[in-house]
Structure 1
Amino acid sequence: MSLFARLKTAAADDWNAYIDHAFVRGLGDGSLPLASFQRYLVQDYLFLIQFARAHALAAYKSRTLADMRAANLGLGAIVDVEMNLHLRLCERWGLSAADVEAAAEHPATVAYTRWVLDIGMSGDLLELQVALTPCTLGYAEIGRRLAPQGVAALPDDHPYREWIGEYSGDAFQQVAVAADAWLDDLGRRHGADARFDELTRIFAKAAQLEAGFWQMGWDAGR
């Protein structure tokens, strides 16, 4: 089993609460209230700004050029792919990039992103990647779950078709494959087996914070 698969198994309850949250199910069947998606989308844009910093921190913590390139791949996926998707969707309901960036961070956004940055500052590259993994690989897994036959199989009028298509699509899935392989490589080089219990605690906490982020969006539509 990969390190990611072992961490998922060890933190199964927290992982399943994240990837099978009511927010995710609402995305999948299109029943998610628009207010929930709008709050999530704005906050996730602000979230990604901080996660871009975390990937830049991973590059700083890297001691090999290969690790720097791996960190840069994740940074590029955020800055050049995910953030552009968010702005395209926000523009549909009249919010510019300046509007979104001027929004206040929700406490759930602050709690998650600053925790990850703290893990990165106080720990090593492996610990930082374990903290980041539930976001990258979790969204890839959710994308596959919501579009098992590909986004083309979803109805054209599905309200969240473009979002699902981004995370189920080949580009993001390849980023996830690379992140999975890099985590395994880091685990081998940084003694993951001897540190597995602590790495599991980090992974479980990140999954809990991801579920809390969904809940923040979900609450806006209730």
Structure 2
Amino acid sequence: MLQQTTFALFTTENKEATFCDWLQAKSAENWKQATQHPFTIAVGNGTVSDDAYRRYLIEDYAFVVDLASALGYLVAKAPTMEAKGVLSAFLAQLTSAENDYFLRSFEALGLSKETYENAVANDTTRSIAATLLSAAGKGKYEDGLACLLCAEWVYMDWCTREGTKPRPDQFWLAEWIDLHDNPAFLQFVGWLKAEMNRVGPALPAWRQREVQERFSRMCELEAAFFDAVSKD
């Protein structure tokens, strides 16, 4: 069964497979639930309710604060100057262009600064943040890398899918798709995958399993995140 398949056995049976292929295959059900969640489809169709998207933005904004901290840990632990540079550049983008998107969207959706700055994240958002911060801060480089890869790859997957449709009229939906379906973001996720494919195969089997478990846990939490903001 795939559940018990090690990376070594997986590549024996799938000659051209990469470490990321193995991570995704081992997390197939959680991956599907996250990337094909009805919420993601509703964003692309422009049919998501304003109330649901307000909840989503508030939760995601809270998460982005912790994501920025996790990136700081990863920059410190990155083994090469190239890796430090790529991760630093993404951190800079996260705290500038993406932050600007949130502020404009909050205003358009009638959310006051007091509301989104003082909002208490729900249990799922706190679990995602804790998982990422623990992996990046207390774990090794590959632990944080696996969690970051999952989070960004999930978004690239569903946003590039929804990006094939006409953009929704609401700018906050259209721009959210564009933030995760553009050459720069695709290049960044491609780099994350290449980095994981470089680091992962060199790990001992027990560490590969731990990294895979972190990746799968993030997939599970991403789906739960969409579930939580979709509930009325």
Structure 1 residue 71 displacement after superposition: 2.1
CA gap of 1:30–1:66, structure 2 versus 1, over 3 A, is same
- Scaled by the length of structure 1, what TM-score is found? 0.87
Q: Which residue of 2 aligns with 1:89?
A: 105
Contact 2:147–2:215 (CA<8 Å) still a contact in 1? yes
- Scaled by the length of structure 2, what TM-score is found? 0.84
For residues 64 and 97 of structure 1, the distance between their equivalents in structure 2, rounded to whole angstroms, comes to 39
Secondary structure, in 3 states, of the residue corresponding to 1:31? coil
The reply to whether residue 30 of structure 1 matches residue 46 of structure 2 is yes
The reply to whether residue 118 of structure 1 matches residue 134 of structure 2 is yes
Contact 1:21–1:214 (CA<8 Å) still a contact in 2? yes
Structure 1 residue 148 displacement after superposition: 2.4
The CA deviation string for residues 55-99 of structure 1, in whole angstroms up to 9 with x for no partner, is 100012223322211321331232123222222211212335554
Q: Which residue of 1 aligns with 2:3?
A: none
Structure 1 residue 210 displacement after superposition: 0.8
Structure 1 residue runs of 5 or longer lacking an equivalent are none
The CA deviation string for residues 93-114 of structure 1, in whole angstroms up to 9 with x for no partner, is 2335554222222221111101
User: Which one of the candidate residues 198, 207, 217 is aligned to 1:205?
Assistant: 217
The reply to whether residue 18 of structure 1 matches residue 34 of structure 2 is yes
Contact 1:70–1:179 (CA<8 Å) still a contact in 2? no
The CA deviation string for residues 180-208 of structure 1, in whole angstroms up to 9 with x for no partner, is 222223325x5276633222211110011
Q: Which residue of 2 aligns with 1:172?
A: 185
For residues 58 and 47 of structure 2, the distance between their equivalents in structure 1, rounded to whole angstroms, comes to 19
Aligned residues: 216
For residues 99 and 83 of structure 1, the distance between their equivalents in structure 2, rounded to whole angstroms, comes to 16
Structure number with greater Rg is 2
Structure 2 residue runs of 5 or longer lacking an equivalent are 1-16
Residues 62-211 of structure 1: pairs in structure 2 closer than 5 A: 62-97=78-113, 99-148=115-164, 153-154=166-167, 156=169, 160-188=173-201, 190-191=202-203, 195-211=207-223
Secondary structure, in 3 states, of the residue corresponding to 2:164? coil
Paired-residue identity, %: 23
Structure 1 residue 37 displacement after superposition: 0.7
For residues 204 and 173 of structure 2, the distance between their equivalents in structure 1, rounded to whole angstroms, comes to 38
Secondary structure, in 3 states, of the residue corresponding to 1:168? coil
For residues 89 and 205 of structure 2, the distance between their equivalents in structure 1, rounded to whole angstroms, comes to 26
Structure 1 residue 44 displacement after superposition: 0.4
